[in-house]
Amino acid sequence: MRNGSAHLTRIRLTTAGTVQAVLANRRGTESDIKAQLASIVPPAWHFVALEYSYGMLNRTYVVFVTDAMICGARVRGLLPAPLAVTERWFDPYFFPRPDIVTRYTRVDLTSPEFKRLSVANFQIRLNKVEDVRFNAAPKWGMGTVPYSGRIHLRLRDGTTRELILLGKQDGPALVERLRACISDAPATQRIA
C-alpha cells in the first residue's frame, strides 16, 4: 500500500506540474508582449495588475493610462497560484496572454469598441478619480503568486477598484505617475 500511495502522489504532482506548464506562456513571449504594447493607440503608459471579481475569481489586466483615461484590458482569464515560482513569475509581462494582447493593437483604447472586446474591460476618465493610494500590505488569497502591492483607485461616485501589481513593479512610482496624470487632466472631458 505504501508504494501505491507514493505512485498516486507522483501522478498527482506530475499532473499538477503539467497543468502549471500548460497555464504558462512559452519562453520569450515577454519581449513579444512588450513590443505589442508599444504599438497601442493612443500612446499610453501601462502596468500589469490583477483584480478580484465575484469575491474569489480573478482577472489579469494590462492597465493603460492615456492623457484622458485609465483603460483596463483583460489579458488573461483565471490566474492560479503556481506550485513553484520561477524567475519568470517576477516579470509582469509573463502574465498577459500574447494572443489576447494582439486584439488590443487594432483598437483605440478610449473608444467604445475597446470595451466590446471583453465585458471585463474598463475605462475610467481621469477626472472621475478622486484618489489613488498604494498599499504594500500582504493581500489574502494571493498564495504563491508574486506581486508588488496594490493600487487603490477611489472614484468620485464612491466606488473603488483594487489593482494588485503582478510580478515586480514599482508601486509607489506608479501611484505618483497616476496622481500626476490625474492632476493634469482637464476638469471637464467629453465622454466618448
66 in any annotated domain: yes
Q: Write phi, then psi, for 132 (nearest 5 degrees).
A: -130, 130
The region that residue 151 occupies, defined by phi over 0 for left and psi between -120 and 50 for alpha, beta otherwise, is beta
Query: Is residue 80, in this structure, part of any structural domain at all?
Result: yes
CB 166 within 8 A of CB 48: yes
Find the angle CA(146)-CA(150)-CA(153) to the nearest 5 degrees: 150
Q: Strand ranges (DSSP E) for 106-185?
A: 122-125, 129-135, 147-155, 160-166
Give the total number of structural domains in the chain.
1
Q: How far apart are CA 187 and CA 149, in angstroms?
A: 29
- CA–CA dist 50, 60 (Å, integer): 4
Q: pTM of the full predicted structure?
A: 0.82
Distance, in Å, from the CA atom of 118 to the CA atom of 104, rounded to the nearest integer, reads 10
9 occurs within a structural domain: no
- The answer to whether residue 16 is domain-embedded is no
Is residue 53, in this structure, part of any structural domain at all? yes
What is the reported pLDDT for 54? 82
Task: Specify if 76 maps to a domain.
Answer: yes
CATH code assigned at 38: 2.30.29.30
Q: Does residue 170 lie within any of the structural domains? A: yes
- pLDDT tens for the 192 residues of the chain, in order: 444 433 333 333 444 444 444 455 665 678 888 888 887 877 889 999 999 988 778 999 999 999 999 999 999 988 999 999 999 999 999 999 999 999 999 899 999 999 999 999 999 999 999 999 999 999 988 999 999 999 999 999 999 999 999 999 999 999 999 999 999 887 655 444
